[in-house]
A and B are shown apart, each in its own frame.
Chain A
């Protein structure tokens, strides 16, 4: 009985290992920025449809994971959405493949439709704590922010400037969870990637500029950050082909259709 279990499990293990060998395809792993992850998945699907000798896997993890895994070789391509890359990324070849607007969002029930950059700063710093101070109803403001180190947060803070986030701000670890939190709480304010705006949340005009593709491209809307793909050493082989594909007209069209902005 016991021996049977042992034999069975070693056989299973053996099969599992054999199954790992004997595949002749080139494998590329992307890891990093959760903001770019959905786009990378879509681009990978499209690329694999015409290049069936390549298998592309996409992982999230965040920009820091993107940089680390590109450095360590856990991934061939790291994804990062930081305004400035940290020193750990100095050995990596960085390519800007897209740009992203950061929208300041509130619950659709909120009457407020626009804020100035100063008001945004004061709200996130805790100087303005009630919606009535900025033309809304008499209700306390719930500030929702990303975690320290997040690309979206550092871009937001670098562009708005002078942010010293108030202590009791709620912290969520992705664009999606900020959207859900703001959608569930009528008195909250947060910021998300432009591509994630939907009917559950409302993007505010900042300094009278609406967060639209036109305004971002023309530079009128200021909250914009680049998205980098990072490769160790120089670009070559299938990795280069895939990044070239993303930068091609077809790839950039996908990026635009899904809510990000083309790199150029």
Chain B
């Protein structure tokens, strides 16, 4: 039996379109569910006061600090490493065994579950190096975690810089490094920034690795050797321990808004980048 192509075409549109619609509905549901329950709890005082009674009352100010400082430290460490690596891979070597090993390592690192990063960070930074549960341990662990994303996106961005740019620069007598610094990096910058923003999103949302390395202290940290609690961890503890549903929802809503802002700016940058290039 053969079904007329017109019907298979219609069937395909119905099935594929239905699947797409379902995906979009799930996304919308998750975001609305959290925002609807959480937005009423967000106020200026919620964001700027300290929690009291384990977070049952009061605001989330220390976790806001933790959420800013921890990804920031991770980015400061991972960005130069990631960019240098991608420059080396794309500008300074040909494809050979070494680059293949580096790429394979990067891919593997990208696929490692965060709980393994947590275990590693705990024994290496917290115990072996003696940093304790601290912003430093957490930041370094997150840095290792986001490094592959930064390498990958920077490499894509650098490769997207037209070959002719490099040729012009070389023909003017510039060295490789001068070409990288003056021509390639400025042109690849928006793509690199996108990768950084995506990494920030991942670092902000991480829980497992952070609990094991940065701890969950609710105090405002006074040095990088102090423990801290990010919003994601705070939400996890509030929701799991049943401390306060209202504050949990409000924290989750703040977190989602923060992640949305970071991601939207990443896409906006990427879009501008594409528009500028074409």
A/B: CB atoms within 8 Å of each other: yes
Residues of A within 8 A of B (CB): 1-3, 5-6, 9, 12-13, 16-17, 19-21, 23, 29, 31, 38, 41, 55, 57-61, 72-75, 174-177, 179-180, 183, 200
Contact status of A41 and B216, CB under 8 A, knowing A2-B185, A19-B224, A57-B226: no
Q: Which listed segment binds A: B153-161, B165-173, B235-243?
A: B235-243
**A59 and B226: CB pair below 8 A?**
no
Residues of A within 8 A of B80 (CB): 6, 9
Task: Give A164 Cβ to nearest chain B Cβ, in Å.
Answer: 27
Task: Give B121 Cβ to nearest chain A Cβ, in Å.
Answer: 13
Q: Which residue in chain A gives the minimum CB-CB distance to B54?
A: A38
For residue B76, CB closer than 8 A to chain A, the reply is: yes
**A9 and B76: CB pair below 8 A?**
yes
Residues of A within 8 A of B217 (CB): 57-59
Residue pairs across A and B with Cβ atoms less than 8 A apart, 11 shown, are A1-B189, A2-B185, A2-B186, A20-B224, A21-B223, A57-B217, A58-B217, A59-B133, A174-B241, A176-B240, A180-B240
**Which positions 177-232 of chain B face chain A at CB distance < 8 Å?**
181, 185-186, 189, 215-219, 222-227
In the assembly, what is the distance between CA of A111 and CA of B218, in Å? Answer: 40
For residue B63, CB closer than 8 A to chain A, the reply is: no
Residues of B within 8 A of A (CB): 54, 72-73, 76, 79-80, 126-127, 130, 132-133, 181, 185-186, 189, 215-219, 222-227, 240-243
Pick the contact of B127: A1, A57, A58, A74 (CB < 8 A). Answer: A74
Residues of A within 8 A of B216 (CB): 59-60
Residues of A within 8 A of B54 (CB): 38, 41
**B242 and A29: CB pair below 8 A?**
no
Task: Give A103 Cβ to nearest chain B Cβ, in Å.
Answer: 15
In the assembly, what is the distance between CA of A30 and CA of B242, in Å? Answer: 23
Task: Give A138 Cβ to nearest chain B Cβ, in Å.
Answer: 29
Task: Give B22 Cβ to nearest chain A Cβ, in Å.
Answer: 26
Residues of A within 8 A of B224 (CB): 16-17, 19-20
In the assembly, what is the distance between CA of A184 and CA of B218, in Å? Answer: 28
In the assembly, what is the distance between CA of A58 and CA of B226, in Å? Answer: 11
Most chain B CB neighbours (cut-off 10 Å) among A175, A180, A200: A180
Task: Give B246 Cβ to nearest chain A Cβ, in Å.
Answer: 15
Most chain A CB neighbours (cut-off 10 Å) among B73, B133, B216: B133
Task: Give A188 Cβ to nearest chain B Cβ, in Å.
Answer: 14
Residues of B within 8 A of A177 (CB): 240-242
Question: Top 4 closest A-B pairs, CB basis?
Answer: A176-B241, A20-B223, A180-B242, A9-B76
In the assembly, what is the distance between CA of A2 and CA of B80, in Å? Answer: 10
Pick the contact of A41: B132, B218, B226, B241 (CB < 8 A). Answer: B218
In the assembly, what is the distance between CA of A177 and CA of B242, in Å? Answer: 7
Residues of A within 8 A of B240 (CB): 174, 176-177, 180
In the assembly, what is the distance between CA of A179 and CA of B223, in Å? Answer: 36
Q: Which residue in chain B gives the minimum CB-CB distance to A59?
A: B215
In the assembly, what is the distance between CA of A9 and CA of B72, in Å? Answer: 10
In the assembly, what is the distance between CA of A233 and CA of B26, in Å? Answer: 56
In the assembly, what is the distance between CA of A183 and CA of B241, in Å? Answer: 12
